[in-house]
C-alpha cells in the first residue's frame, strides 16, 4: 500500500481482526459431523476461515463446514501457535458435502471465484502471513487434476489480472479449530472485522453463484 490513509485503514481493520477479537485461551476443538454417511469431504485454505466457512455453508449440497488448520507439521495446534507462523499450518475449512447435490468442480469454482482472491501470495486483504495462504488440498489424483485444470483455465482466460498462486497440496491431516471459531461470522455479525472484511467476501460469493445458494439465502 502506497497511500497513508489506505495503510491506516488496513491497520485499523487488522486491529479488529481475529488476533484482537478471538479468545486467548484454547477451548475444546469442534468435532466432525456425527453422521458422515453418503458425504464426501474437501479441504481448502483461503485466508481467514471465518468467511470461508460461511461461504461454503451457504452452498447448496454442503452439509457442514468446520474451521481448522491444515498443511503444517504441528499436531493439534492452537490458534495462537498457528499465528506465530512456525507451525506450517494455514487457516482452513473442511467441507462435508453430498456429491449427489454438488460436485467437487463446483466446490472448486466457489473456492477460486467466490471465496477468496487466489492471486494474493501469503495474504488475504488485511491478513498477512503464510497462515493465510491459498491452498487447495487434494485427496485423489482426480481431484488434483481438476484443481490444476481449473487454475489453468482461469489463468488462460485472465479472469484475474495476476496469475493464481494457490498451492496444490496433497491432503494429510486436518485439525479442527477451537470451538469459538466455529460459525463465528453468524454469531458475531456486529464485529468490525466481520463487517469490513468477511461480509464483503460472502456477498461476492452470493452474487457470483445465486443459483447455487441454499434456499432462503438472501442476495
Q: How do residues 185-204 score in pLDDT, each as one tens digit?
A: 999 999 999 999 999 999 99
Which residues are catalytically annotated? 48
Q: What is the pTM of this model?
A: 0.85
Domain annotation for the chain: domains and CATH numbers:
36-207 (3.30.1060.10)
Question: What does residue 43 show for φ and ψ, rounded to 5 degrees?
Answer: -130, 130
Residues in the chain predicted with pLDDT less than 70, given as ranges, are: 1-32, 216-219
How far is 67 from 103, CA to CA, in rounded Å?
A: 21
Q: What is the pLDDT of residue 206?
A: 97
How far is 118 from 161, CA to CA, in rounded Å?
A: 11
CB 131 within 8 A of CB 85: yes
Q: What is the pLDDT of residue 216?
A: 62
Q: What is the pLDDT of residue 149?
A: 98
Structure letter (DSSP) for residue 29: B
Q: What grid cell was written down for 166?
A: 494457490
Residues linked to residue 86 through DSSP beta bridges, in sequence order: none
Q: What is the pLDDT of residue 9?
A: 40
Q: What is the pLDDT of residue 36?
A: 80
Q: What is the pLDDT of residue 19?
A: 45
How far is 168 from 61, CA to CA, in rounded Å?
A: 24
Any residues with CB less than 8 A from the CB of 131 and at least 6 apart, and which? 82, 83, 85, 87, 89, 90, 91
Amino acid at each position: 500500500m502506497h497511500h497513508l490513509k489506505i495503510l491506516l485503514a488496513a491497520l485499523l481493520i487488522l486491529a479488529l481482526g481475529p488476533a484482537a477479537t478471538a479468545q486467548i485461551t484454547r477451548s475444546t476443538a469442534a468435532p466432525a459431523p456425527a453422521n458422515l454417511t453418503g458425504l464426501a469431504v474437501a479441504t481448502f485454505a483461503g485466508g481467514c476461515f471465518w468467511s470461508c466457512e460461511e461461504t461454503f455453508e451457504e452452498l447448496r449440497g454442503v452439509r457442514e463446514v468446520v474451521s481448522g488448520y491444515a498443511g503444517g507439521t504441528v499436531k493439534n495446534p492452537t490458534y495462537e501457535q498457528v499465528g506465530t507462523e512456525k507451525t506450517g499450518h494455514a487457516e482452513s475449512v473442511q467441507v462435508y458435502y453430498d456429491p449427489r447435490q454438488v460436485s467437487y468442480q463446483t466446490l472448486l469454482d466457489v473456492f477460486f471465484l467466490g471465496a477468496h482472491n487466489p492471486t494474493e501470495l501469503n495474504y488475504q486483504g488485511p491478513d498477512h502471513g503464510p497462515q493465510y495462504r491459498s491452498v487447495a488440498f487434494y485427496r485423489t489424483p482426480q481431484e488434483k487434476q481438476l484443481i490444476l485444470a481449473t487454475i489453468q483455465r482461469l489463468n488462460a482466460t485472465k479472469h484475474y489480472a495476476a496469475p493464481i498462486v494457490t498451492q496444490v497440496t496433497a491432503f494429510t491431516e486436518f485439525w479442527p479449530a477451537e470451538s469459538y471459531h466455529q460459525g463465528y461470522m453468524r454469531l458475531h455479525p456486529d464485529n468490525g472485522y466481520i463487517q469490513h472484511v468477511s461480509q464483503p467476501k460472502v456477498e461476492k460469493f452470493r452474487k457470483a453463484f445465486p443459483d447455487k445458494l441454499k434456499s432462503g439465502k438472501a442476495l
